[in-house]
Structure 1
Amino acid sequence: MISFQRTENLSASALMTYENMRSYYEHYAVDWDCSKIEEQIRDLVNFDLLLKGEVVGAIRLAFDNDSCYVRDLQVSHHHQNKGFGAAALAECERLAINSGTNRLKLRVFRISPAYKLYIRSGFVVDSEDERFYNMSKMLS
């Protein structure tokens, strides 16, 4: 069973993001390293995805008056395509609704297979550029 807890180790969480995203960074010639990722996530609302006590993913959120931004959603390579991403999105929705926001927003690399998960989960493309889709979903 999947559970969620506040992130205890930001360095390990940043490393997971770097390892998962490295091919995208290289594809788009983005110069990122773990220390930059850790610096960027420090002020976000960070949660670990746990499977039987083992950290298998991360979600990172930011909030404004009416929206919750999914700044990052990671699932370790060994646990991808097993429903953990969908469970993480459901948790993002729950956290957003509990905070009083009515919309989830995110940005995803155009070449990322996660795009299909977001479409299946009810997100729509609001805008796009050469690298990213900016997507959102209204919450009930």
Structure 2
Amino acid sequence: MITYQPTADLHVSAEITYKNMRSYYEHYSVNWEQSKIQAQIVDLENWDILYNSSIVGAIRLAFDNNECYIRDIQVSDKFQNKGIGASALAECERLAIKTGVNLLRLRVFKISPAYQLYTRNGFVIDKEEDRFFYLSRQISNQEI
């Protein structure tokens, strides 16, 4: 069963992100450390993703006017391809609707397989840069 809870330990959350993103950082020669991730996420809305009561991932959101920026959906490697990412994306939408926003935005590395998850779920490319796609999707402002 997939559930969510507010993040209590940002160190654990940052570690999941670091492990998941390390190959992208190496691919693009980005010097990034777990401590830098933790410093970046402290001011975000952080949620743990739990699978059968164990923390297996993280959701990070930032809100601005009528937008919710999905800063991260991270699922530990051995728990990927189990529908957890799609469920987490639906949870992001639920949280966004709860706060009254009507647009989801995110940025994803072009080489990330998560890009397919986002496009399957209705996100469209707003712009692209050398490394990233910037995507968005309108959401209904009705409770789900």
Measured against the shorter chain, the TM-score band is over 0.9
* Structure 2 letter corresponding to 1:122: G
Q: CA deviation at 1:120?
A: 0.3
Q: CA deviation at 1:53?
A: 1.2
In 2, distance between residues paired with 1:56 and 1:35? Answer: 19
Correspondence 1:85 to 2:85: yes
Q: CA deviation at 1:51?
A: 1.2
Q: CA deviation at 1:83?
A: 0.3
Tell me the percent identity. 62
Q: The residue matched to 1:14 in structure 2 has which SS?
A: helix
In 1, distance between residues paired with 2:29 and 2:74? Answer: 20
Alignment of 1:1-140 (within 5 A): 1-140=1-140
Q: CA deviation at 1:19?
A: 0.4
Unaligned 5+ runs, structure 1: none
In 2, distance between residues paired with 1:51 and 1:114? Answer: 19
* Structure 2 letter corresponding to 1:12: V
Unaligned 5+ runs, structure 2: none
Cα RMSD of the aligned pairs, angstroms, is 0.5
Q: CA deviation at 1:52?
A: 1.7
Q: Which runs of 4+ in 1 moved over 4 A?
A: none
In 1, distance between residues paired with 2:122 and 2:85? Answer: 14
Q: CA deviation at 1:14?
A: 0.3
In 2, distance between residues paired with 1:3 and 1:68? Answer: 20
Cα distance per residue 1:66-118 (max 9 Å; x no partner) = 10000011000010011000000000000001100000000000000000000
* Structure 1 letter corresponding to 2:62: A
**What count of residue pairs does the alignment treat as equivalent?**
140
Q: TM-score, normalised by structure 1?
A: 0.99
Q: TM-score, normalised by structure 2?
A: 0.96
Q: CA deviation at 1:11?
A: 0.4
